[in-house]
Structures are given as structure tokens and as C-alpha cells.
Amino acid sequence: MYSLGFWNIRGLNDLNKQKVVKWFMHNNRVGLFRLLETKLKPGNLLKKYTSICDGWSVSTNCSWHKGGRIWVLWKPSLFDIHFLSYSAQHIHMPKFSEECNAPWLWLGDFNTVLSPVERLGGSTSDAEMEHFQDCVFICCTEDIAAIGALFTWSNKQAPMDRVYSRLDRAMGNQE
């Protein structure tokens, strides 16, 4: 049985981070993996990719964002992945129907939270979350379990003004 992985990695140029990702993928028998915020130098994509997961397939949003903020990696023997759209903020890879009965996976930096508990410091309003909540409901998706910190973004201000939020996520339906 292979699992799905998700990691907001920041700084995949670092050889130690590459080793940790490779170790994590192997030891957790990951067959489909999403990396966010890689901050990878464009000229290093092929070298870093083969260093981490030689023999896997990869798709990134490098053509839409310098450094490719989002990577999707998968073992082609386990997953047949089709991509519908890309931008600097998302990679859309569903097989979606109005009945929500076909497999659908979406991931990215959504720039909003689903609930107030996903923000520490600062404030949230119902209006801020409403459109994202409606979209998640209409699409019949939910968060895919991830290992790691709940908060994926910080404004890096002084401690009294610091805000942490969960903006990066992977979601899918039951299929």
C-alpha cells in the first residue's frame, strides 16, 4: 500500500532538504507526493528532481512561476495523472464530474483559511472564508491528511504582531 505525501518544503536547493525528502518518501512508501514553496532555482529543476526521485514522473508550475512553487511527483506504475490547468498558485489535476464520483485532487497556496482555527494571531472573518468553504463543499472535497506543521505561512513580523495561517493544502474527494 502506497501513501500520499504533502510537504511545504521551502528551499529545495539545499542538499540536506533533498535527502530528508527522499528519505521521507522511501520510508513512508509514498507513491504520490506534492511539494509546495520549493523556491528552486529554475536551472536546477532537472538535477534536483533526479536527485530526489529518479524514475518518478514530475509536473511543476515552473512555466507560470519562477522557481516552480508547486511540484507533483508520482510513480507512473501506481498513478495515472492528468493535468487540466496550471498557474503560479495552483496545479489542477482532476477527473471531475458534477456528481463528485470521479477521483479529484487539487493542491496549492489558497491564500485563505477554511476556519478560524487555521489562523493564529490576526483575525478572520466569515466573509473571508465563505467563498473557499462554498467551493470545497460544491466540489465534494476535503483535506488530505498531511504530516507536519498546521501553519504553512507566517508574516514574519515581531512576536506581538506575528500571524500564522494554513494557506497551503492538498484536497481531494473520497474516490
- What pLDDT score was predicted for residue 158? 94
Q: What is the CATH number of domain 3-172?
A: 3.60.10.10
Domain map (residue ranges) of the chain: 3-172
Q: Is 146 left (phi over 0), alpha (psi -120 to 50) or beta?
A: beta
* pLDDT tens digits, 44-71: 776 777 777 778 888 888 888 776 778 8
* Segment 105-131, tens digit of pLDDT: 787 788 899 999 999 998 888 988 998
Alpha-carbon separation of residue 156 from 14, 53, 121, 153, 166 (angstroms): 21, 32, 12, 9, 14
Q: Confidence band (pLDDT; 50, 70, 90) for 6?
A: low
Distance between CA 131 and CA 150 in Å, rounded?
Answer: 21
Beta pairing partners, 108: 90, 169
What strands lie across the sheet with 153-154, from one edge to the other? Answer: 119-120, 164-165, 153-154
132-165 pLDDT, tens per residue? 898 888 778 899 887 778 898 999 999 999 999 9
Q: What is the pLDDT of residue 97?
A: 42
pTM of the model: 0.60
Residues whose CB falls within 8 Å of the CB of residue 134, separated by 6 or more in sequence, listed in order:
none
